[in-house]
Structure 1
Amino acid sequence: MRIRVLAAVVSATAVLSACGQSAPIEPNAVPPHNRPAPAAPVPPSPAPPAGDSVELDISPTLAKIKQRRLLLVGVRADAPQFVSRDPAGEYRGFDAEIARDLAKRIGLDPATQVQFRRLPPTLLQDAVTAGNVDVLLGGTADVPQLAAVGPYAVTDSKRYLVIKSDDRLLSDELRHMLDAAVADGSWQRAYDATLATAGISARPR
């Protein structure tokens, strides 16, 4: 009799356990509503476009020229065979053509964004050191504050671009521009239209 009662209790316990549990629970399982959403895949960073570069250094003078949209050029008042002013006030001559070519390479309009300043010999160096001109054509760098770039023309003497000596990057840029002017024929065209017609022999360097 005792065996039958014990069997009935075990059977009832099994039935009740089955009714209160719809599915077996795995050990350490997290309920579905508490599970974190799967992380979205992170897209790879795009590669930089080919050929792009970051300019880490820039000439302070060149930055100022581009910001003001005007190149200030000093030319010698005592060198009419290289630059002169016509009755309309326009600057003509080899030095004027070189200055306009430089302006174009900087990204300026050579017809409207170049301002010339005719300087007597006594004011050539002061104009550069004081910042009244960005570049002087045909000057000399006889003081430490000045640097000579070039020559941009060799006749009976060498003619240089003169700038402030504290802007090494501008010196490098101007040297590249002069080399490019020779390589692409701009220097030769300027010579043919000016010095050559006056019978003045010159070469780039």
Structure 2
Amino acid sequence: MRIRALVALVSVAAVLSGCGQDAPPGSNALPPPNLPAPTTPAPSSPAPSVGDSVELDTSPTIERIKQRRQLLVGVRVDAPQFVTRDPAGEYQGFDVEIARDLAKRIGLAPTQVQYRRLPSTLLLDAVASGNVDVLLGGTADSPQLAAVGPYVVTDSKRYVLIKSDDKKLAEQLQQMLDAAVADGSWQRAYDATLRPAGINARPH
């Protein structure tokens, strides 16, 4: 009886010791659930405050001219002392020289100028509608238009006419006209055109 009891006790101890061991790898234990990887929220850009305005470094008109690679210039048909067109279709005159100088200062070649001869009845509409970038020899007789200059003074003052909503264009054109006087470009244009015609003129 003692031997049987001893055997029974040994068997019970063996069973109990096996129950306390950890399950080996690869056992039927369920793996932990797949958790989504932690995400870092993207930094949000600050919302613009109400009333903030963005001021362009350059004129939107000049940007369009550069993209188009052409300056559209309106010239008057009633001012032959300032601009003429020969039988071959070439434009000549003081206004043409000024237009070419402006084109160079914008970053174009002097040949990248397209002229549009305009009667007096179409001058203002051509500028206001954007059919020309600038009009040489105009006056701002409408709130839609602004006059820059004058770029030449004879018996009257002649201005560069543009749309009034592009203030940067006005500033940059004025700087270009001032630079043309300072570096002698205006004088060379005058000496090649108006002076031989006997027309006395000054820059402003």
The TM-score, its normalising length taken from structure 2, stands at 0.72
1:143 matched to which residue of 2?
142
Q: Give RMSD over aligned pairs.
A: 1.0
**TM-superposed deviation, 1:172:** 0.3
What letter corresponds to residue 169 of structure 1 in structure 2?
K
How far, CA to CA, are the matches of 2:182 and 2:130 in structure 1? 30
How far, CA to CA, are the matches of 1:163 and 1:56 in structure 2? 18
How far, CA to CA, are the matches of 1:184 and 1:58 in structure 2? 23
How far, CA to CA, are the matches of 1:145 and 1:57 in structure 2? 22
Matched, 1:69 2:103: no
4+ runs of 1 displaced by more than 2 Å? none
1:155 matched to which residue of 2?
154
How far, CA to CA, are the matches of 2:58 and 2:180 in structure 1? 21
**TM-superposed deviation, 1:56:** 4.9
How far, CA to CA, are the matches of 1:155 and 1:60 in structure 2? 32
What letter corresponds to residue 165 of structure 2 in structure 1?
D
How far, CA to CA, are the matches of 1:72 and 1:56 in structure 2? 22
How far, CA to CA, are the matches of 2:88 and 2:104 in structure 1? 23
Matches of residues 85-104 of structure 1 in structure 2 within 5 Å? 85-104=85-104
Unaligned runs of 5+ in 1: 1-54
Unaligned runs of 5+ in 2: 1-54
How far, CA to CA, are the matches of 1:140 and 1:149 in structure 2? 9
1:60 matched to which residue of 2?
60
How far, CA to CA, are the matches of 1:59 and 1:178 in structure 2? 16
Cα 1:138/1:169, change in 2 over 3 Å: same
Match of 1:160, SS? strand
**TM-superposed deviation, 1:67:** 0.5
What letter corresponds to residue 107 of structure 2 in structure 1?
G
What letter corresponds to residue 104 of structure 2 in structure 1?
K
1:14 matched to which residue of 2?
none
What letter corresponds to residue 175 of structure 1 in structure 2?
Q
- Single out whichever of 136-145 and 56-65 deviates more from structure 2: 56-65
Matches of residues 1-80 of structure 1 in structure 2 within 5 Å? 56-80=56-80
Cα 1:56/1:137, change in 2 over 3 Å: closer
Matched, 1:175 2:174: yes
Cα 1:131/1:56, change in 2 over 3 Å: closer
Identity %: 79
**TM-superposed deviation, 1:165:** 0.2
Match of 1:198, SS? coil
What letter corresponds to residue 145 of structure 1 in structure 2?
Q
Q: How many residues align?
A: 150
What letter corresponds to residue 131 of structure 2 in structure 1?
N
How far, CA to CA, are the matches of 2:148 and 2:194 in structure 1? 21
How far, CA to CA, are the matches of 1:162 and 1:65 in structure 2? 16
**TM-superposed deviation, 1:132:** 0.2
Matched, 1:188 2:187: yes
Cα 1:179/1:198, change in 2 over 3 Å: same
**TM-superposed deviation, 1:87:** 1.3
How far, CA to CA, are the matches of 2:56 and 2:118 in structure 1? 35
The TM-score, its normalising length taken from structure 1, stands at 0.72
